[in-house]
Amino acid sequence: MITYEDRRLRTLADEGRWPELLGIYRRARVAAAALAGEDRAAAQTAPLGHLIAHGAPPEVAVRLFDEDGGAGSAAGVGDHDAGPLWEVLATRHSWRRLAPLLGPPAVRRLVAHTRVLLGEDLSYGAEPDPEGVPLVLEPWEMAGWGEGGRVRDYLRSGGSRSSLLTLPADREGLGPVELPVRRERLPGQRATAEFAALADWAQAACVRGGALDAAAQFAPGSRVTGGYVPFAVVYPVLVQTGAGARPHGAARGRLAVWRGLAAMAGAGRPERAEVNALIARLRCFTWCDPADELRYLHAALEDPATGLSWAVSGADFEG
């Protein structure tokens, strides 16, 4: 297995011999795939891939994802160490540097949205997103992150720094709330499936009624500690939930949340105007669960225009 303790590889990196390291990465990945399969190859070579994505010039780093080294030699969107290799790369260079070099469409799209999350406006000069997700952050996407970054801060050694976002983060501003009797859920709603897909620990449900009716679907009892919050507070935690652990990345979280909001608005694809109109009228409720530990989400989203509300709830006890 390639690790950062391999002194020779670290020495090559210190000396800036990045093409040589790329060649080692490709040969090791092909050999590991032949012996143990694609998943094992990705895991074994990920630390070296991280080192290249983090430190190499963009002209070399982007070639991690190119197949010009032969079948099995390229990293895919799922290759990750402390985080996806494409996300590590995206945190190191601007879109202006990366755009002329990146080839694979899936990697290109995720890198572009990572740069958007980092604050770049790519609405001009970049190819449109295939789903229509805007290539610039809306004001409500920027407002609720606090001191934490929207994308992990990756370290050369392979680690990363990120904020642990939870909803509710604390009990400030919350109080005792009596929830209504549970209503029958509305099946077959596309937004329900989109929100449930944010994470394997997330549950989602849709009801005809208000935010409290939706919260009653997952709340631990009829009386909870809860309160209404702006959607700007909910959004970062939804993105973090969709980003998940190391294999996913913040760009995937953002794309997943936009798909869910578009479905709530009844749009076939993420239309910017329709989603913004939805956000302007949403009422959002959050509540506490005594079982909450480190990573959890309890949110109910009410759309007064349709009379429908969605709840997204769960806790990651392994995260």
* Tens digit of each residue's pLDDT, the chain (319 residues): 455 447 788 889 889 999 999 999 999 999 998 888 888 888 899 999 999 999 999 999 999 999 888 888 999 999 999 899 999 999 999 999 999 999 899 999 999 999 999 999 999 888 999 999 999 999 999 988 876 689 999 988 777 777 778 999 989 999 999 999 999 999 999 999 999 999 999 999 999 999 999 999 999 999 999 999 999 999 999 999 999 866 789 999 999 999 999 999 998 888 899 999 999 999 999 999 998 988 899 999 999 999 999 999 999 877 5
**Which domain covers residue 152, as residue numbers?**
7-160
Going through 123-169 in order, the beta strands assigned E by DSSP cover 153-154, 160-161
Q: Tens digit of pLDDT for each residue in 120-147?
A: 999 988 899 999 999 999 999 998 887 6
Last residue in a domain, options 128, 160, 192: 160
- Contacts of residue 200, Cβ cutoff 8 Å, sequence gap at least 6: none
Residues 149 and 245 in one domain: no
- Contacts of residue 90, Cβ cutoff 8 Å, sequence gap at least 6: 98, 110, 111, 114, 115, 118, 151, 251
Last residue in a domain, options 109, 134, 160: 160
CA atoms of 122 and 258, how far apart (whole Å): 17
Residues 194 and 99 in one domain: no
**Cβ-contact 167, 233 below 8 angstroms:** yes
* Confidence (pTM): 0.94
pLDDT at 1: 47
- Contacts of residue 146, Cβ cutoff 8 Å, sequence gap at least 6: 163
Domain total of the chain = 2
Residues 39 and 66 in one domain: yes
Within a domain: 165: no
Pinpoint the alpha helices (H) of 4-122. Answer: 7-14, 18-36, 38-55, 58-61, 85-92, 95-98, 105-117
Within a domain: 271: yes
Reading the block at residue 201, the tokens are 């620990």
- Contacts of residue 124, Cβ cutoff 8 Å, sequence gap at least 6: none
Within a domain: 264: yes
Reading the block at residue 292, the tokens are 């909450």
Residues 204 and 102 in one domain: no
| 213 φ, ψ (degrees, to nearest 5) | -65, -40
